[in-house]
Amino acid sequence: MTDVLSQPGATVRPKSAPRRLSDRAFAVLLILPAFAFIGVIIAWPLVETIRLSFTDARLGGENYVGFENYVDLWNSRRFHSYVWITFYWMFISVLAKMVLGLIGASLLNAAVPGRALFRMLVMPPWVIPIAIGCIGWLWLYNGTFGLLSGVGQRIGIFDGAFPFLAGKTSAFYSAVVTDVWIGTPMVTLFFLAAMQGVNRDLYEAAWVDGAGRWYRFRRITIPQIMPVIVSMSLLSAIWTFNSFDIIFILTQGGPRGATTTLIIDTYKTAIGNFKFGEGAARAVVIVVLLAIFSAIYMFLLGKINKIYGVK
């Protein structure tokens, strides 16, 4: 019997060759955990929140009520005031962060002695846990033994103890100051990183042509870092809109609702009063408002980018 393997031109084929995954199947396997994570952490809670918003869910159970929760919100003057407070809080805080961040980044980007030390000193408000920072501000705002009230009395600004968190106006702007104090370092560092990436030849050419510092800042720095300004302002607006811990630690939404934003109102409704259906409706409204705001914001900033020639 002639051996087949000894014949010329014979090939050896393995009995069971392992099958290789295609590139598409391999890519799907790689992104499958990410899709599962998004589905469990984001998609499912969002769908469940939307479902609950059409019910009167409480601790005792739930019943379908249709759009009743949304109609109540539409007719609620108090909820309308919370919407106004939220957007005003966001606008004031983000504007202050952007302005102070630009100023701080410009100073830290300058060639001055001890620049590395100054950059390190910017970090603590951002690095310190928010709860600890807010507790420190609680002591500062205290009217009886707080530093700000004591200094104000010493220099004659206040006639007596001034509790910053007891008045409606003072409590609101005190919360804004705390939020700006916490958020400005991050904005400053992002702007500083963007400024360091600007081509130095542009500044040197402008300096040779006799351009001053303000002109170089306005015509070179701002256009070059505009993409970072756009991204940072949008992210900061969303974070400030959803800010909870700062206001809750300082005022818990008081006094008399002066610092009650939509997030605080949603928490008090759903968690504080166990009205899960009404709280879910508020959460859905927040998502819709943020989506509309982001779309309008990106449209307007796209127009600004065209003015500055940023792609």
Q: Is residue 59 part of a domain?
A: no
Q: Is residue 152 part of a domain?
A: yes
pLDDT in tens, 140-187: 999 888 899 889 888 988 888 888 999 899 999 999 999 999 999 999
Which residue stretches of 197-255 are H helix?
200-208, 213-216, 222-241, 245-250
Residue 124's pLDDT band (cuts 50, 70, 90): confident
Mean pLDDT of 198-212: 82
Q: Is residue 256 part of a domain?
A: yes
For the domain that residue 107 is a member of, what is the CATH number?
1.10.3720.10
Question: Where on the phi/psi map is residue 210: left (φ > 0), alpha (ψ -120 to 50), or beta?
Answer: left
Q: Is the pLDDT of residue 20 over 80?
A: no
Write down the number of H helices and E strands in the chain: 15, 0
Q: Is residue 302 part of a domain?
A: yes
pLDDT in tens, 107-120: 888 777 777 777 77
Q: Is residue 30 part of a domain?
A: no
Residue 4's pLDDT band (cuts 50, 70, 90): very low
Task: Output the pTM of the full model.
Answer: 0.82
Give whole-number Cα distances, 46 to 53, 289, 293, in Å: 11, 15, 19
Domain count, the chain: 1
State which residues form the domain around 195: 76-307
Averaged confidence pLDDT in the chain: 85
